[in-house]
């Protein structure tokens, strides 16, 4: 089954404790992206990757890092999480171009 898998689905943690949210896709997609969803703001892009070892900033990259060492994986790293990063996070992938993006089920992060 074609899917984008995120882990964990839920996480409550404390300020400053490094965390990683994993994202993996099994569709051999070139393009991957991270979004955060906040009430009243819709979804905003954090980082994206056009291919292995190629990543770049989206609209709200501050406080986040990413890596793309393999085509299927695109982890999101919060080196020193802060409460304003409490949000619902989605990973997405696509073939690239103007093709539709496929989304994971989301990761709800709470930073205390």
Partner 1 sequence: GDSVTQMEGPVTLSEEAFLTINCTYTATGYPSLFWYVQYPGEGLQLLLKATKADDKGSNKGFEATYRKETTSFHLEKGSVQVSDSAVYFCALSDLGGGSNYKLTFGKGTLLTVNP
Contacting positions for partner 1 (CB under 8 A): 4, 31, 33, 35, 40-45, 48, 50, 56, 58-59, 90, 92, 94, 96-106
Question: Residue 84 — φ and ψ, nearest 5°?
Answer: -75, 0
Q: Which of 86, 103 has the CB closer to partner 1?
A: 103
CB of 86 to partner 1, least distance (A): 18
User: For the residues of 15-65, what is the DSSP string, one character each?
Assistant: TT--EEEEEEESS--SEEEEEEEETTTEEEEEEEEEETTEEEE-S--TT-E
| DSSP H or E segment with residue 83 | none
DSSP assignment letter at 39: T
CB of 17 to partner 1, least distance (A): 26
CB of 8 to partner 1, least distance (A): 14
Q: Which of 19, 103 has the CB closer to partner 1?
A: 103
CA nearest to 2, candidates 33, 30, 25: 25
Q: What distance in Å separates the CA atoms of residue 26 and residue 78, rounded to the nearest whole number? A: 24
Q: Which of 38, 79 has the CB closer to partner 1?
A: 38
Q: Which of 83, 96 has the CB closer to partner 1?
A: 96
CB of 50 to partner 1, least distance (A): 5
């Amino acid at each position: 089954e074609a899917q984008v898998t995120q882990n964990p689905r839920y996480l409550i943690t404390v300020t400053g404790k490094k965390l990683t949210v994993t994202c993996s896709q099994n569709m051999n997609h070139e393009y991957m992206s991270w979004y955060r969803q906040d009430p009243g703001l819709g979804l905003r892009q954090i980082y994206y990757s056009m291919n292995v070892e190629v990543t770049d900033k989206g609209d709200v990259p501050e406080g986040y890092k990413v890596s793309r060492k393999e085509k299927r994986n695109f982890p999101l790293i919060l080196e020193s999480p802060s409460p304003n990063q409490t949000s619902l996070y989605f990973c997405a992938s696509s073939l690239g171009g103007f093709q539709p993006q496929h989304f994971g089920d989301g990761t709800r992060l709470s930073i205390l």
